[in-house]
Every structure is written in C-alpha cells, then in structure tokens.
Structure 1
Amino acid sequence: MIAPSKIKKLDEVVVNRIAAGEVIQRPANALKELIENSLDAKASNIQVIVKEGGLKLLQIQDNGTGIRKDDMGIVCERFTTSKLEKFEDLQAIATFGFRGEALASISHVAQLTITTKTIDEKCAYKASYSDGKLKAPPVSCAGNQGTTISVENLFYNIPTRKKALCSASEEFSKIAEVITRYAVHNPSVGFGLKKQGETKTHVRTPHSSTKTNNIRVLYGNPVARELLEIDLKDDKHNFKLHALITNPNYSNKRMTLLLFINHRLVDSSMIKKMIEDLYSVHLPKKTHPWCYLSLEIDPANVDVNVHPTKHEVRFLHEDSIIEKVKIALDEKLSGVNASRTFYMQSKLPNVDVTKEVLKEVLPEYDTKQTDKTKKLYAHEMVRTSSTDQKLDKFSFTINPALRENKTSSEEAKENKSKDDKVEDDSRNSKNETAENASQKNQPIAEEKNESTSLAKSKISDNSVVEADNSTCFMLSDSDESDVEKEKNNQSIDIEIVAESTMTADRALKNIYKRWGSGENDEISPKNIENEETDKELREKSMTNSDESLNESPVKGTQLTEFKSYSVNDFRREVKLKSVLMLRKEVEDNYHAGLREILSNLTFVGCIDERFSLVQSGVNLYICNTQKLAEELFYEIMLYDFANYGVIKFSEPLPLYDLAMLGLETKEAGWTEEDGTKEELAKSVQERLSEKMDMLKEYFSIVIDKKGNLKSLPILLDKYFPREGGLPLYILSLSTQVDWEAEKPCFKGICRETAKFYSQIDSDSETFDWKHVTEHILYSAIKESLLPPKEFAHDSTILEIASLPDLYKVFERC
C-alpha cells in the first residue's frame, strides 16, 4: 500500500506566480487592470503603446492623480490598495480595484517599471519591480502629472503560458477591443492606442466627447446611424439602464455586446442569451445586432468578487432585472416603424449609364431615330397632375395645401368630375405620340415673375394651413402664380411640376383648360424649341456620364452671381481682401453638378427638422437641411458682408448672463479644469465688448458699453434664428474664433453665425417651421447656394429614388 505524500507549504514565489496566472491570463487582461487603475485615478487622457501584441512591451500613460512617493515601496505587493480597508467596504465599492492584486500579479510575470508624479511633488519618481519588490529605491526624474506603467517581457518566466497565446496580431486586436469598449463607456476620457515605432494611431477618441460620437469613430457610421437609445429607471429593484442598440436595419455576422455593470466591463451569458432571443424576431437568421448596455445597480446588491479577472459579477434579483431590461428593449424595437433599408452609393448628379446600356434596357431609345410615332412608356413620363395619385394614399402627408373655402357639395361634385377625367386620361395616354409627349409645361413657368410675390404673401398670411385629404403635394413656383389667377373660387389642385422631356401633351392641355395659361392656351413653338435644346443637353450629359463626381465643375459652366439678401435700401461696396478671398474660396470649391440639382429642385416635404425630400428632374433626393442652411448662411454672411439688416431686441441681453447660460449646457463641455464659470463668463463678456466696434461695423452685432447684446443681423427676410441657441452662440463667438488674424477672424465669425442661424426652431409659436423651411430656406437654397464638393460624398444630398430605376424594379416584379 502506497503511503500518502507529505503536505508542505508552497514557496511564496510559487504561490504568487500561480495567483498571477489566474489574474493575468493574457496582455489584454493586464491592460484592462491598468486602464481601471487609471480611471480610478480620475485620468482624463489615457495613451497605450504596444509592441508584439503586448508581450514585448505594454505601456500605459495617464494624467491622473499619480502615486505618492511614500507608497511606491509597497505598491506592487499583494493585497495592498487605497480603495478598500475592511471587507464590509465591498458592499459599497465604487472603484474598479479592491483586491490589490493587479500590479503584484504583473510584477511576478513581467518586468514592471512605474514612473509617477502627484500634483504636490516637484518632480516625478521612477522605480522598477520584480516579484512584487522594489529592485532599487525610486529615483527622481522629469515627468508630467500622472502615472506611466511599462510592462516588458510578459510571461518571460512562464514559457508554457507564453507559447499558448495567440499570434501578436491577434493579441493586439484583443487589446484594441478592450480600449475600444472602455472608450465608448467613458466618452469624457480621451483614449489612444498605437504600436511602438509607428506614427499611425489605431484607436483614438477625443476628450469630452459623447458615446454616440465615439461609436461613430470606433465602429463606423453603419452602426451609429442605426442606434436606438433606451433609458430605464426601476425603483423596486434599485437599478438604472442606459442602452444604445441597433434597430432592425443593421445586422452583422457576429454579435457585438458591450456590457458594463456599475461601470465595470463584464460578461453575462444570461444577458447575451436574452438579447439573441429578442433580436431573433427582428433580424434574419444567422445575423446579429450591435448593443451597448450600462447597468447601474445598488452596490450592496452586487458581488464583484466572483472571478479572479473580475470579468463576471453576480447581483440580486438577476432574473427580474434582466426581464425588465428585455421588456424595455422590446418596446423600443417594436416601436420602430421603419422597414429594412438598403443603402447604395449613388453618383450625383450624373448616372453611370451609357447610350449602349440605355439602348439595351430601353429599346425605344435611339438618338438617331427621328420617327415621332414611337411608343411612349409610363416610366418616361413625369406626373404633373395631382389627381393622378396622392401621397396621402400612402399615409405620407408632406405639406398641407392652401385651398379656397367652399361647400362640401361643391367639393364632392368637383372630385367626381376629376376622377372621371383621370380615368379617361389614363386610357388615352397610351396612344399618344412622341411629338405630343415632347412638349413641356413651360408656359406656366413664364408667368412666375408676374405674381410670385403675391402668392408668397398669401401663403405667409396662412402659415398654419389646414390639410385636405385629396391634396397633399407641394406648391411649385409656377403654381403659386396660378393660385392668384384662379377664378370663381374654384378648387385648386396643387401639382408637382417636374422638368422632363417626356411630359405628355394631354397633361398640359388639362392644366390650361382648368387654370388658363394667360394670353395663349396653346403650346408655343418657342417651348418646343427649348424642349429640343433640353433634350440635346441631356443626351450630351449621358454621353459624358462616365466622368467622376470628384472632378472640378464642368468647363464652360457659368457661375451665377450670388444674390444679395440684404433688406437694406443701400449697399456698401466691400473691398477687404480677406473677404474677397473667402468668397473666391467658395466659388472655387463649389460643385457644378450639385448646383444644377439644387437650382432645379421642387420641394417635396420635411421629414423632420434636419432632413427634407426634394425632387430634381426624375430623381428624388434626401437633403440634410441643417447642413445646407449652414452653408447658405455662411455664403450670405460673405456676400452681404457689412450690409446686413438689424434685429433689435426689445430689451438688451447681458453677455455675462448669456455666457453663464451657455456654460450650463452639456454641449459647452465645461469642466472644473477650465476654471470657474463666473471667470469664463466674465472673459467672454470682456472679449466681445473689446471687439464691439468691429462687430457692429461689419456684422450688425451691436454691443453697448455695459456689455449688453442689443441686436443681431438679418440674413434672410422673415427668418429668425432659434432663441435657445443664443447662449452657445455667444460662447462660440468668444472661444472658437481666431481674433488675431483678419481672414481667420472673419471666417470664424461667419461660420459660427451660420451654425447658429441654421438651427431650425421647431417649437416656435410664432412661425410654422415647415413653412419657413420650404418657402424661405429652400427658396434661397434653390436660388443662390453654391454647394461645396464635399456635399457630394458626405450624404448631405443623397439620391434615394430614380424614376427609370424604380420602373425597372416594377417590371421585374
């Protein structure tokens, strides 16, 4: 019989290495512990340098509170910490670290060096550690406030563990993943990651950012633009939830879950399973969402001392809390009424289609054919009669039409006659010739100048317009003039007038019969001639459709002079070289193709305050109204320089009070490191008061000697900026403008003013924001805006539908 072995106490070195192997499993685990130490030290900037996946070098530098010189002797010993004194403190732990094992474990499996400086010490101190002990007393050196920890030759004394690790590239990707997740959860902290010897930064987030912005930087726009935000507070189980999850428009081959419980990055198989079950009814099979969840639970209900690496936690009422989270997420996902959306890259304004392709897919297309009897297909026509079909048929009301008062019996009678006429028109349109189809509705547009102002004044007097079930399209410029010419109080059908060579002659005759075309109800030879010219231009455009969108404006394109929107009766000539140079930059950088789209746009409707739909030719575009408006106001600031009207306040507004209000907002990004709010507000008042003569002379921004704001410029007639944005605007004028050089100063003032004016006030009780957007903003955009080239690539103007392409889809169906 074999005798039992004698029980012996393990050597302390062996014990420490075994424990270190449990805590530090790979470089990413070591980095996680070090990042949490930096966050505990209130760092606002964390930079990481890696060599060979962290095995040769893993260095982290922060600007936190640092380590006292007296504590450097025991900082790497086991169970030494400044965050816990007794076991009961675990019930209210508010820090990441609590065991005091991280640095000790790293020092037993790597060569550790710490350089640190506190705010009270005059210099930094550097020390090296091995097996938890100091190799030599700390030495003084130069250094910034904070701590720099260098971990070299990780697992040099545990070769088995080192061989079991993945390749250096895979270890680096795991390190990047850890930094990325902490960067999303801590947007107020700037993170950076790069490899030693390289200038390229693999991960970089700004200081004082937001979670959504960091997600956009780290995971890309496909994730950021599909996010849904959920906030939940439950008093029964004493927890709060903040989540950012993707809607059903986004899916990926693998699931990405960022889970933080009490700000600690953890894993939870139960929460992961809950999310997979939840999305199984929203996403196709074998596709997964992107989710960020942050749970804040009462520390007394959470057990953080479950796993050596602290990547798991246990908490009370786990099933109930997860069920409540599931219900909140499910309600948000179920409330999304958008269907699956597929984005495609479009080239604006030209379509990459050659004549050969057109002849193949459209047999009737032949530029050499002069026969006027070829068949007219439906997809070649642009609807011009509002009685053909309404947007409200799809429960999509864009802009209520302005209609005359009439009795219900008259409406019923008129609608019946219109329906009968539509049926007759649809039957006869199939037999029309190409000669009739080549006519346009230009006679209507010729009357625009005579009565546009009258129609606009009528619309402005009825800024709140009642909706009508039979009419929900926009009022075009030519239609506005005809509204004033309507006789006998007849009903007015608002129509979309779109430019096309394929407009049917019958549609024009119906328009003339119902409205009248002024002096002549016939289609003039002049219009036919113009139509042929337009056709030649379009064919020429198709021939050159292979030209890249990024090219400079087409040679020979005549740049229309920017219209003045000044309400003043006189105009001062501007000879300042800096302003003339800024104007030239706008003209040199504008995109001719986008300008053509905007100059021919027909407003369809507002999606919300930021986005609108417009039609140009046979294409439908979604436009970022705020960005277009900002560029419009910037150009107005330049071209009407020193010629603005004045918006006078009934009572002067103190700059100091405005600055204080601005500093209270989250967008200002104020921190205690910036100084007190009172001092900053005082400096804002002093800076702007110092420049009050220049602001009054050139920008109509009047500031009196007491530091009160008395007026702002009028950039567009009948347009007023959002009052709630004034405090931030005053802050931006003081802090974001380079006041030392003339050209940057003027550019900064114009740009910040444009940003302020581009904020549409959707809560105004005085003005209908949809009316302002359509009839003031987009009217000026159509008339004058010179869109910069970057608008063609940043989705400011994005083609979402094309009539010929849609017809191809319907044919395949």
Structure 2
Amino acid sequence: MTSHRRSPSPEPPGPRAIRRLHESLINRIAAGEIIHRPASALKELLENSLDAGSTSIQVIVKDGGMKLLQIQDNGCGIRKDDLSLLAERFTTSKLTTFSDLSKLTTYGFRGEALASISHVSHLTVITKTKSDTCAWKAAYADGVLVPSKAGYTPDPKPCAGNNGTTIIIEDMFYNTPTRLSALRGSSEEYARILDVMTKYSVHNSKVSFVCKKSGSMSPELSTPSCSDTSLAIRQLYGHSIAKELLHVTTSSTSNDSTEAVDEDDPEAWSAEAYFTNANYQGKKTAFLLFINHRLVESSRIKRSIESIYSGILPKGSSPFVYLSINLDPRSVDVNVHPTKREVHFLNEEAIIERISDAIQQKLAGQSQSRVFEYQTLLTGGIAQSASRKGKEKETNADEVEGDDDRPSTSQVAKKVLSQHKVRTSLQDRTLDSMIPVTDPLRTDSDEPTTAIRLRDIKESTCHFASIKELRRLATKRLHHDLTEIIKKHTFVGVIDSSRCLTLIQHNKNLYMVNHAALAEEMFYQLALLQFGDYNRLKLDPPPSLRMLVKLAVEVEEGTERSGMSKDEIVDRIVETLMDRREMLLEYFSFEISETGDVRTLPHLLREYTPNLDKLPMLLMRLGPQVHWESEQECFSSFMRELAYFYSPAPLFVVSAPAPDEGEQVKLKAEAWRIQNILFHAMRKYLAAPKSLLENDVVQVASLPDLYRVFERC
C-alpha cells in the first residue's frame, strides 16, 4: 500500500510594512469625505457666502454642476494676502484655539471646503474687498496657487470685479472617474442643487438667491430679499402649502416664546416651526431642519414629527415641516460629521419632546374640520369645498388644474369652461385598478407595488462611424409633439392585450396606442444607446442553440419556398451564428459557448425581463433577417430583431374563448408590467419617430369636440 504524505501547509504571510501615504493621495481621500457631489460643494460655498455677510448670492450651473458650478456673492471678500493660503487644508479665519469650537457661531470652521474642491476640480477665485481698488483672480490645483494660463506666474492677477467673491468650479471629479461615474444624470444633480438652494432660501429670507443653468436667460430659482419666512415658503413651495401653514414658537422657558437664547444659560434654547395642517397631504415628507442656522439632518427629530402626523393624515400622505432650533453654541457639537450634516446637542430628547408637544397642540386645535376640493372626472364641474367635522370617511378627490391660489366661486370674474379643464392627477384610477394586482417581480410580499424606480442608462462610448450614424438618424427621426405626448401622458388602461392596444390621455385628448410598437421602438433605441456595453441576462441552465432554432423552424410556415429542408435551414442558421460568436459576445453580450449553448442575452432594461418563449423565434430570425455583410445594416437589423424580441407583442394572435382564472391572473400581471415598467420607461427614454403616427397612435376622443356633440343634442 502506498502511503500518502500530507503536503506541509503554507506559512502565513509576514506583516506588511507600514508606509506613509503620499500627500496628494491623503488630500484626495480627504476631499472625498467632504465633497460627495456638486450639491455638497454648493452647500459648503453657500455657507461661506453667508458667513461673509452676503445679501445676494447667484449660482450658475452647467451639466448638473459637473462641468461648471459658479457661486457669486456680495460679501466682505477675501484679502489679497490671504489668497495664497485660501485652498490649503485647515486654513480658516474662524478658529484660533481649540476652545473656539465651543462657541462657534459661523457655518464653516475647519477650512476644508475649498481645499477639498481644489483636489477634485479646477478652481478659480475672483474676489474684491471694499478697500481694494480692483479685484484679484487666482487659480488653484491640489490646494496651491497655479498659473491660470501657460507662461503666467501663479500669483493672483488684478482684474475687474464687484465687491464680494466669485468661486468658479470646473470639471468636478475629472481626476476621480469612479466618483464621477457614480453620480446621477445632470438633471438629477441639478435638482439636488436646487433643493439645497431652496432650503437655504427659506431659512435666509433676507438674502436674495438666484440659480440658473449656464446659457439660460431665465433663472430656475429667484427670491427677493424679504423679512418673512412664510412669504419665502409661499414663493418657493407654492400656495398649496402656504395656505395650510401653521406657525408655532417654543423655548426652554415657555411655549409661544420668541425670546432669544439666554447667553448665560448653556441649556437655554428656542425653536420656531412652520408646518402644514391636516388639509395638506403630500406624497413625501418635506422636512427642513436648521440647528443654529446650519442645515442638518436628524432621523430622531423627523421620526418624532412623523409620528404626530400618523394619526392625522391618511396612510401614504406626508406633511411639510420647517423647523429652526437655536441653542447655546456651548451645548452643540458640530464636529461629528465631515460635511457638518449632523450635530449633537445636550438634552436632545427633552428638547425634541417639547417641540413635538408644541406642534401637536397646535395641530389639535386646527384639525376639527377638514376641507376637500373635488371635481368630476374629465367632464368638469365647479370646484367645491365641503367641511366635515369629527371623523370623516376617506374620499377620492381629483385635483382641479391650475393655480391653487384661486378665489371663491362668488369672486370668479371669468369662469373656466368645463371642456377646457384637464385631469392631471396621477392618483386617478385606471381601467386596471379596480382589482389589485400583485407585482409579478416580487415573491416575498403580497402587497401591490405601484411604482418602479428605473436605473439611469448612460450612452456607451463608441467610435464606430456606423453606430454614430445610426444614433444621428434616430435623433433626426424624432417627432417632438408625439414625444411630448408620450413623456407627459396619463395612463388610462390596457383595452386589448391580444392586439396590444392601450389608452393614454394627454391634455384634453384621449389616444389609443399600440404599446408593442412603441416598446419595440424604445428597445431599439436602448440597444443603440448601450451598444458594446450591455448588461447580461444569464440563462441557467443554458439551452441548446440548435434545439431552440429547430423548435422555431418546425412551426414556421413557408419554409418550403426556400428550396431547403427544415434540417438544412437549421444547419445554416446555427452555422451562421456559431461563426460569429466572438462578434456577438463583444458587441452585444450575446454569449454562445463552443458546444452551442446560449449562455447570456443582452439585457436592455434591467427592470424588465422579456418573454423567453420568443427566444427560439429570435434565434431563427437572426439567420436570414440580419444583413451580416454590411456593418451598419448588420448592427441596425440585429438591434431591430432584438427590440422585437423584447416587445410585449404576443407570440401568436389567435381567437380564444374567455380566459380562465389562471389566464386572467397572467393577463393582469402583464398589464401591470406594461403600465408600471414599460410606459414608465417610455416616458423616460422613448424619442418617438413620426412613423408611429401612421398606424400605432390614434386620437380617439377630444374633450372640446365631445362637448360640441352634446351641445347639438
């Protein structure tokens, strides 16, 4: 008998040497803790402008702040002698000793914002103090002064400018591609910037704020200098919130107190809140929290306030709350988060409880009656108000189009005719909503899901002239009016699944659309958008290519006209696809193994899985329908076949008796996918071509025309 010796176990690795990180790496890591996205850079710079005593702040944004973020203020400016230290880490005018942290009254104090920005972008500063005869311009990189142009010295240069400071940030995260790729699209980043500015505009109502996109003449946000927080809320959040606002003040001494914090008492505090009553029901809680004038977040305070409204508002409704708390600086620790997003303070539980009690008492005195505004669906009617006391039953109400700030019926000078009113509420019931449908994508819950959040899809980088030309042609075919209808439609319901017919509404018109044709065009555009960079849909276990093609050829009619037997057709198609395995894998993530198994398919929309019953037909059509010899025609025809495979068109259209219970569940699940995934994706991605107007989009009703018919009766 042969004896087997066990091989000796490998020796554990020795300790690695500890090395000091390079200074540039240290600074770039630190920058990532402070500057997460353009909105976080803006927050830091807004606070610097407010610390400088600015009364006017103007912001210009390009590509969501990733290409350009410019902040101009009229504050005290920066001395020329301090410009050399401006972007170095831990340089500040607000701290001298560690004890200064215990009595901070400014926003910034660590001196990291501009330093962090200079490590991840190209930073330029233009500043002028009142005593200067001119402004000074300086450029920074990695925390130090650099020449603004080749051949220049890095010293600040004189230039024209107004009193105050202008910070220009260009190409944010150009040297950290991972952070750049993790950002959302430019529109979402711009929305975050507007959100930050809106919140600071509410709290600093005496300061004028302006925000606009680069190249735009009109600003997206513009506030005058006023002295009333409620006016700022009205202007920024709309009259629907402002007309339902309640106001309360409280302090460590008594409720309804507007006294300032006692400087001699470290536990003294005061708070002021504006919040909506029971008549306002938002989709998402709007919570603005400022502690010592610093915009912060506190899950504990938010949960406490939400618990108050849970017994007042219907499920799924949320309030608007603005809360400002002033505390003695000695009782607040502001240095617990790199971006100062969170703070800790003494007696936190007691203060939260006192504020919550004040808000609850105010709400209790106002919630005895609730006002409902309603209008009959589509056919109009006069908006009415009904006040019901005590416990009311929940009722469905449609919102009346137009500004909520409308006078009472007796004050209306010009009545809006019913045929010119448009249903715009997304809460209205659809044809398919009479019976709840479970989300077919979820197996762990029986609760219906009503919304799917689509992941952003970015255009892949491609240098093929053929793909660039196909993308240009897709843009050229765009029909602006039809695209507008699709992007802003209201879904009504699927009316015929077998023929793929759906009703949608846009403005005063009702349209019948072929959702399969619209989806096919969208999937073609998604395939073109992601060319060479597709996600993969894995087939496990991988089916045989030959078996799938054979299944499709067996049921295909008219194959005898080709002059070949069915087996010869199968051999030809399989050979064609096997010869092009490498190209299919590289460009389309379409993987066929050496043994002829289909392993992966391109996944065009991650939230949507195509009907795999159509896979045999797809593979069969790829043989004769794709023009393999011409590059542009090959790519175009392949993506067209892929789009047809993804479309929800049924495999066979046959007349059948009424579906049984199991079939009805499948039809409802498919209708759910069409409404909540496909039409949601069309709103976001479909650039509708004019060709869809020929047979696939038909106007079936117009509200003004219907009224004319009834007027004749």
TM-score by length of 2: 0.49
Whose helix fraction is larger, Structure 1's or Structure 2's? Answer: 1
Larger Rg: 1
Whose strand fraction is larger, Structure 1's or Structure 2's? Answer: 2
TM-score by length of 1: 0.43
